[in-house]
Structure 1
Amino acid sequence: MTERDIIFVANEVNELGGVARWQALMAALFAERGHKVTIVGIAPPEVPMDLGENPPFDTVTLYDVRPPGRWQARTLRDRANLAARKRENARESAMRAAAGRLSDIFRAARPGAMIIVTQVWAMEWVAAADTAGHAVIGMSHESYEYSRGSSRFQRVLTFYKDVSRLLLLTQEDADLWMGRGLNNVGFMPNPLPMMPEVPSQRTEKVVVSIGRLGHQKGIDMLLDTWAEAAPGHPGWTLRIYGSGPDEAALKQQCTDLGLDDSVEWAGQTDDVVGALHGASVFVQSSRGEGFPLALLEAMACGVPCAAFDCAPGVREIVRTEEDGLLARPGNTSELARQLGRLMESAELRDSMGEKARENVQRYSPTAITDRWEELFALLER
């Protein structure tokens, strides 16, 4: 195996969330195999994630504060706005300087280095830099359909069309991007973040959710779901782990729905295994996902999942009616019914939980890292 320089370029080095967790995990897995790994962030994180003491990779952040968005003159008055033009010139000058720092990092890398761009906003700086002849792997960590609803969709088409390889999280998503005319597309699942020796006992009357309290994770829909499921299942608690911008509004919604006695707000946690060991069911109510680590973690702990089928990655991970249960996206009544089935039957929880723990091992870190090594060898030819 060739030891390489591997350079991740992301929006941030350690912004709290799934992408940063995946990035730190992959960086550590590559470092274990003897590669020299660097994570470059464009901007500092708004909500930092702890990378632990002495992570086995280097980190660099290009800006001290988050750079402003691009300004475009759309009217005659805009064109006459000298202050705005001056700010735009300053932004462009700062971007050239940041791209220059990135060029220096790429030029210092050994032949055979791999540049992995984890988010498409960061690709704007990579596109402006000298990649020194190294292979560039672009990534999108969300489903094709979720991308379509954001500005990232056009950015993927613009900035990833000429990279060495564009990686999506599933074959289904890759096929959809191919249909948009991209001919450099492949897919790479996320690896299993952990595999605890002991699974959950599934004895607590607790349903757990873990995720950022923001629009994407759909906790508002989860509360509507719980309002339907809870009355028929007295003694059960919905325990919500996470923090985020919607926290106050969600807690008010919880009160308005009369759920304060059966919903527990557990805050942010670094002990995911502990949280899952205290659960008998895991629920995910996201509006959009890529290849969610939270589902992998729950299944590794032997906790059966009920989730909205909101992305190819979700139905790739959860084999519905075998190791978990899926509901149509946004259909809170259907998700409530699926939750109810798991809450009502210890036999169903145990059979699906045990099957989940068995099935999820197809995403073992060794298997996924081997696939990355094969891709590196292919791109070096």
Structure 2
Amino acid sequence: MKISFLIHTVYGIGGTIKTTLNLAEELADRHEVEIVSVFRHREIPLFRIDPRITVVPLVDTDPGSAANELKHPLHLQPAQYFPAAEARFKEYSKLCDTRVRAHYAASDADVVIGTRPGLVAYVAQFAPVGAVLIGQEHMTHNHHKQALRSELYEHLAALDAFVTVSEGDAAVYREKMPLPGTRVLSIPNSVPEPPVTPADGSGTTVVAAGRLAAEKQYHVLIDAFAGVVAEHPDWTLRIYGGGSERPKLRERIDAGGLHNSVHLMGPQSPIEPEWAKGAIAVSTSRHESFGMTLVEAMRCGLPVVSTDCDYGPREIIEDGVDGLLVPVGDSQAVTAALLTLIEDEPRRRRMSAAAVENSRRFDPGQVTKQYEDLFTELREQAASRAGDAQFQPEADCVVGAAGELTVSLVPTRSGTAGHEGLRLLCSRTEDRADERSYPFDAQGVATVPADERFAEGVWDFFAVVPQSGRRVRITARSVDQRGAMRVAAHDGRGVHNRVAYKVKGKGFLSLRSWNRPVHAEAGDITVDGTRVTVSGVLVGKATPVGEPVLVLRRRGSTQEEMTFPGSRQGTDGFRFTFSCATPVARQLTRNDYWDLYLRYAPEAPPVKIGRVLDDVIDKKAVYAYPAAVLPKKRPWGVLRKAARKFRGRPQQRVRVRPYYTVSNDLALTVADV
């Protein structure tokens, strides 16, 4: 087989690069292997690469290279096929899109593996038809933001398999992101046998290694080791790695008087000789998708004290046999575990031997066999999916006057509309486990009943292919939203509005649902000089009591609330007028945001004010309000010297503007001009 790995860069240093090279080298014994590196940012890779592996760089970003493409016209334009919510999105460009597409258009690879979220999306879109498509997760489901998970869903649904590095994370994916047509499983990272003789559990050195980053919680380790030094001053702690936390950690070491006992050793490669110098390894991370350093240490003969964080450590360490697991963030528990091993050398030696034995299951040969078995199992599925790849459903959608939705597939030459067994799937982007499914009839029409309740949020529309269960995103040809314009004639049971729409730029068919038992529907908004007036009507299962109150809540970590009295307009109407000077006086940042709520009765919880009872999906782009401009309030107590500094300068101003959020709720921005 020809196996192609798609990686961000193979020229740097990092866990994903190392595990990819380990797997690729083992596969090269029996297969043709290439590593497609999107970027080449230096001439020589930092890791040694087996000469049997073909390296294919696509975009040259090495500043010292004559072929440097940093100024290439296409590289100055943002990527179109790389997920916008991906952490590295800004590094990708149309040039990356073009090069990846071109490489795989001419490729004869039998298996293509994407090694990070954005590259998994590339694999789903550009890999050769008929190849086995595999995505790897080197982080975790919970590590990614909801926006990225939403963007990835359709791409994961196009894969043959999605591989996590821990069973715990695979279980989360299976629960929260159902992918019936994609096999979701775990295969651990591989760690080769070290080139040094394993430690035997003797010595007086504790070793930790990894990036000096906040998530590694080295401050917990340093505090814990203070307790070790108090009992055993001859023991030392070595921390290997570089990173932004180094100055803080140095200060903590000095503040604790631990400069003779705790040493920041800096980055070290290879790390195996350093592990072998130790007697115990330790990790205090608050999160580990796998835990490469744990396996490295165990393969070098060190029992490991590790926090029992999600997800890797508990699947690597057998508590009490080859290491000890402790609660996350508990420095006293770390101290106690270290002392347990320090004060019982026979046990430490037994655990050292067990660590070597038990870590052999992560040998590249054993891990590679799991991948090879997977490739073989998926080849038939990939061939079947190649037929599905020709299926690109397009539909017309009508929003009925009663709220029902009718989705009609557009007939094609292949008879798509009459595809036997085809089903319409509605999947909520915020929670992929929340689904609704409806059959297409012989004419390719599916109906979503008016009384079907959809949780508030965005729902994507898929066609589920029979037999394979593969989910294919439906493209909208036209969407008739007129029925949603009549939703204002509500029945007193609350707001249940569903508006189908065509996603801008992509053309996909989606649905926006609002589902609120009580809602304050905004009406006219006026800005008169420095005053804002908000009017509207209360909708749903609520009875107004007394005069209404407008509540402004500051968005962000600094919680604050302001209230303004209003007046009732008829039975359910409300009206408020407030001065913009009040939020300006409380401005904390260059851009403050306040969300607007209505308190319709003294004991009732405030409800959001928004505009959801019509057919307009994106109010922010349509309902634009003028801004009030006020002078910026300077904080009290400014020194006379500072006051003289500003004398003669133009007064700084602040702009206050009402606007609608992405969920069509009313908010207020207070921003420096």
Amino acid of the structure 2 residue aligned with 1:306: V
Q: CA deviation at 1:285?
A: 1.4
For 1:177, what is the secondary structure of its paired residue?
helix
Q: Could you say which residue in structure 1 is the equivalent of 2:362?
A: 363
**Is residue 2:6 matched to residue 1:19?**
no
For 1:32, what is the secondary structure of its paired residue?
coil
Matches within 5 A, 1:70-85: none
For 1:62, what is the secondary structure of its paired residue?
strand
Structure 1 residues 304, 167: closer, same or farther in 2, change over 3 A? same
Correspondence for 1:91 among 74, 78, 81 = 78
Say which is worse superposed, 334-343 or 215-224, in terms of deviation: 215-224
2:325 and 2:4 mapped to 1: Cα distance?
Answer: 37
1:248 and 1:45 mapped to 2: Cα distance?
Answer: 28
Say which is worse superposed, 102-111 or 353-362, in terms of deviation: 102-111
Q: Could you say which residue in structure 2 is the equivalent of 1:75?
A: none
Amino acid of the structure 2 residue aligned with 1:102: V
Q: Could you say which residue in structure 1 is the equivalent of 2:134?
A: 137
Number of residue pairs matched by the alignment? 355
Quick one: higher RCO (CA 8 Å, sep 6+), 1 or 2? 1
Matches within 5 A, 1:1-381: 4-33=1-30, 35-44=31-40, 50-52=46-48, 55-65=51-61, 90-92=77-79, 95-110=93-108, 113-145=110-142, 147=143, 153-180=149-176, 181-183=178-180, 184=182, 185-196=184-195, 198-381=197-380
1:8 and 1:341 mapped to 2: Cα distance?
Answer: 44
For residues 189-213 of structure 1, give each alpha carbon's deviation from its aligned partner in whole angstroms, at most 9, with x where no partner exists.
1223224573213322100011111
1:31 and 1:193 mapped to 2: Cα distance?
Answer: 15
1:225 and 1:238 mapped to 2: Cα distance?
Answer: 11
For 1:50, what is the secondary structure of its paired residue?
coil
Structure 1 residues 32, 87: closer, same or farther in 2, change over 3 A? closer
Amino acid of the structure 2 residue aligned with 1:167: V
Q: Could you say which residue in structure 1 is the equivalent of 2:429?
A: none
Q: Could you say which residue in structure 1 is the equivalent of 2:557?
A: none
For residues 49-89 of structure 1, give each alpha carbon's deviation from its aligned partner in whole angstroms, at most 9, with x where no partner exists.
622266432223433449xxxxxxxxxxxxxxxxxxx9998
Say which is worse superposed, 315-324 or 252-261, in terms of deviation: 252-261
Say which is worse superposed, 12-21 or 317-326, in terms of deviation: 12-21
For residues 23-43 of structure 1, give each alpha carbon's deviation from its aligned partner in whole angstroms, at most 9, with x where no partner exists.
11111111122x222222334
- Structure with bigger gyration radius: 2
C-alpha contact (below 8 Å) 1:169/1:291 kept by paired residues? yes
Q: CA deviation at 1:120?
A: 0.5
2:16 and 2:369 mapped to 1: Cα distance?
Answer: 20
1:154 and 1:229 mapped to 2: Cα distance?
Answer: 46
C-alpha contact (below 8 Å) 1:324/1:356 kept by paired residues? yes
1:330 and 1:296 mapped to 2: Cα distance?
Answer: 21
C-alpha contact (below 8 Å) 1:225/1:336 kept by paired residues? yes
Q: CA deviation at 1:98?
A: 2.1
For 1:199, what is the secondary structure of its paired residue?
coil
Structure 1 residues 153, 204: closer, same or farther in 2, change over 3 A? farther
1:44 and 1:288 mapped to 2: Cα distance?
Answer: 30
Please report the TM-score for the alignment, with normalisation by the length of structure 1.
0.84
Say which is worse superposed, 151-160 or 237-246, in terms of deviation: 151-160
C-alpha contact (below 8 Å) 1:107/1:132 kept by paired residues? no
Q: CA deviation at 1:239?
A: 0.6
Q: Mark the runs of 5 or more structure 1 residues left unpaired by the alignment.
A: 67-85
Q: CA deviation at 1:215?
A: 2.3
Amino acid of the structure 1 residue aligned with 2:378: L
2:134 and 2:144 mapped to 1: Cα distance?
Answer: 21
Amino acid of the structure 1 residue aligned with 2:374: L
C-alpha contact (below 8 Å) 2:323/2:351 kept by paired residues? yes
Structure 1 residues 349, 176: closer, same or farther in 2, change over 3 A? same
Say which is worse superposed, 231-240 or 128-137, in terms of deviation: 128-137
Task: Select the structure that is richer in helix.
Answer: 1
1:51 and 1:88 mapped to 2: Cα distance?
Answer: 27
1:290 and 1:262 mapped to 2: Cα distance?
Answer: 30
For residues 212-246 of structure 1, give each alpha carbon's deviation from its aligned partner in whole angstroms, at most 9, with x where no partner exists.
11223222222222233322221110011111222
C-alpha contact (below 8 Å) 2:189/2:292 kept by paired residues? yes
Amino acid of the structure 1 residue aligned with 2:164: L
C-alpha contact (below 8 Å) 1:17/1:212 kept by paired residues? no
Q: CA deviation at 1:343?
A: 1.5
C-alpha contact (below 8 Å) 2:75/2:95 kept by paired residues? no
Structure 1 residues 8, 277: closer, same or farther in 2, change over 3 A? same
Structure 1 residues 88, 315: closer, same or farther in 2, change over 3 A? same
Structure 1 residues 203, 338: closer, same or farther in 2, change over 3 A? same
C-alpha contact (below 8 Å) 1:289/1:311 kept by paired residues? yes
For 1:179, what is the secondary structure of its paired residue?
helix
Amino acid of the structure 1 residue aligned with 2:291: P
For residues 95-122 of structure 1, give each alpha carbon's deviation from its aligned partner in whole angstroms, at most 9, with x where no partner exists.
34322322232233336x1111111122
C-alpha contact (below 8 Å) 2:135/2:159 kept by paired residues? yes
Amino acid of the structure 1 residue aligned with 2:104: F
Structure 1 residues 242, 26: closer, same or farther in 2, change over 3 A? same
Structure 1 residues 153, 321: closer, same or farther in 2, change over 3 A? farther
C-alpha contact (below 8 Å) 2:75/2:96 kept by paired residues? no
Q: Which runs of 4+ in 1 moved over 6 A?
A: 86-89
Say which is worse superposed, 176-185 or 235-244, in terms of deviation: 176-185
1:55 and 1:246 mapped to 2: Cα distance?
Answer: 37
Task: Select the structure that is richer in strand.
Answer: 2
2:93 and 2:312 mapped to 1: Cα distance?
Answer: 34
Structure 1 residues 324, 130: closer, same or farther in 2, change over 3 A? closer
2:192 and 2:344 mapped to 1: Cα distance?
Answer: 28
C-alpha contact (below 8 Å) 2:222/2:253 kept by paired residues? yes
For 2:321, what is the secondary structure of its paired residue?
coil
For residues 9-32 of structure 1, give each alpha carbon's deviation from its aligned partner in whole angstroms, at most 9, with x where no partner exists.
122224322111101111111112
C-alpha contact (below 8 Å) 1:99/1:128 kept by paired residues? no
Q: Mark the runs of 5 or more structure 2 residues left unpaired by the alignment.
A: 63-72, 81-91, 381-673
